[in-house]
Amino acid sequence: MNIKDYFKSTATEVEAVLDEILTAPQPRVANLYAAMRYSVFAGGKRLRPALFCATLSAFGVDSRPLLPFAAGLEMIHTYSLIHDDLPAMDNDDYRRGKLTCHKVFGEAEAILAGDGLLTHAFAAMMSVKSAVAADNLVKAVNDVALMAGIFGMVAGQSADIEVEGQPVDAETLEYICRCKTGALFAAAVLGAADLSGANAKQVEVLQEYSYLLGLAFQIVDDVLDIKGDAVILGKTTGSDAKNGKTTFATLLGCDAAMEYAAETAKKAISLLEIFDEKAELLRAMPIYFIERNR
Ligand code: GRG
């Protein structure tokens, strides 16, 4: 299966599970469910679930019984987007081509929708307990907590806020990208590796692979903010320049930034030499990520 079709099919599978998880609203909190569903089904690319499934396939593990774990990853990702769009953070009106959650449901409900998705994601991940060894599930959930939280994405967001309005050097920028973007990729990859019973060397390699993938992805994101098509992207372009934000594109220029993204993608692929041909999808991801237009 080519990588584009793979993304489509994993997206369809995980969306069916998300639909189940976020159904049966308790009548008194119908608005909370509506807000969570609004953002979850606003049309994301479902990259993290695809990365999760591709990693399972590198270990020869069937992803179907583990899809609720993948859904949990997408719920964490969506919470981060809802909170990132709030007036206290990026104050964005559009996301995934639609009005942001707080624009439709108000700030308080948007905060709760994010909180609800984050906490319920852990229940979703734990729900695969009958399909895996308990020790592996504990490791996987622990890694997701570390990578999504104060050793990963939340740390990256905080570091990003700290440098707002200041000139940023490449080293700091790289740290922020690794945490803000790479860590949630690492949550997906390590979650799958742990569930598959990966050894310490494999986990170490996959963590660095995920960070590099995140870095390459983020560099392209920065270039798309300058050169991308707002309609295809589903969000306003030019926001980094408007906010005076240093990115790899502003630091290096778009062409050099794309070269750096390509180099980073190559490095990520080369790390996978310890895996056999079952890691083909993981090898295809970095290229797909840098060739994307949305
Ligand atoms: C609020 C704790 C907290 C974290 C926010 C996600 C995030 C961290 C900030 C959003 C802004 C940003 C540029 C984040 C880097 C990660 C990124 C590129 C997210 C967008 O991911 P896609 O392209 O989105 O996978 P879709 O909509 O396709 O799911």
Q: Which two tokens stand for residue 119?
A: 């906490």
Looking at ligand 1, which atom is closest to the CA of residue 154?
2
How confident is residue 240, by pLDDT bands cut at 50, 70 and 90?
A: confident
Q: What is the pLDDT of residues 164-178, one digit of tens each?
A: 888 899 999 999 999
Dihedral sign for Cα 270, 272, 274, 280, please: negative
Q: Distance from the CA of 181 to the center of ligand 1, in angstroms?
A: 7
Confirm or reject: Cβ of 213 under 6 Å from ligand 1: no
111 CB near ligand 1 (under 6 Å) = no
**DSSP 3-state assignment of 13?**
helix
Tell the residue number behind the tokens 């700290």, with chain if given: 162
What is the predicted pLDDT for the residue at 231? 67
Q: What is the pLDDT of residues 194-212, one digit of tens each?
A: 999 999 999 999 999 999 9
Query: For 169, phi and psi rounded to 5 degrees?
Result: -85, 170
Task: Identify which of 122-126, 218-222, 225-229, 235-239 has the greatest average pLDDT.
Answer: 122-126
Of 50-59, 94-103, 196-205, 271-280, minimum mean pLDDT range: 94-103
CA of 78 from ligand 1 middle (Å) equals: 8
Residue 278 — pLDDT band, cuts 50, 70, 90?
very high
pLDDT at residue number 118: 98
Lowest mean pLDDT among 54-58, 158-162, 240-244: 240-244
Query: 254 pLDDT exceeds 80?
Result: yes
For residue 177, the model assigns a pLDDT of 94
Bigger pLDDT: 244 or 134? 134
Query: Residue 279 C-alpha to ligand 1 middle, in angstroms?
Result: 25
Nearest CA to ligand 1 atom 20: 81
Task: Name the pLDDT band for 279 (thresholds 50, 70, 90).
Answer: very high
If one residue of 7, 164, 175, 181 were mutated to test the ligand 1 pocket, choosing by the most ligand atoms within 8 A of its CB, it would be 181
What is the distance between the terminal CA atoms of the chain, rounded to a whole angstrom?
21
Whole-number pLDDT of residue 218:
94
Confirm or reject: Cβ of 233 under 6 Å from ligand 1: no
Mutational test site, ligand 1, from 8, 74, 81, max ligand atoms within 8 Å of CB: 81
Question: What is residue 167's predicted lDDT score, i.e. its pLDDT?
Answer: 87
C-alpha distances in Å from residue 279, one per residue of 82, 105, 185: 32, 42, 16
The answer to whether the CB of 35 falls within 8 A of the CB of 112 is yes
Query: Which pLDDT tens digit goes with each residue over 107-163?
Result: 999 999 999 999 999 999 999 999 999 999 999 999 999 999 999 999 999 999 999
Mean pLDDT of the chain: 94
Q: Which of 117, 129, 99 is nearest to 37 (CA)?
A: 117
pLDDT above 70: percentage of residues in the chain: 97
Q: Whole-model pTM?
A: 0.95
pLDDT for 234: 66
Ligand 1 touching residue 183 (CB < 6 A): no
Stronger pLDDT, 72 or 2, i.e. the higher one? 72
Position in ligand 1 atom list of the atom nearest CA 294: 23
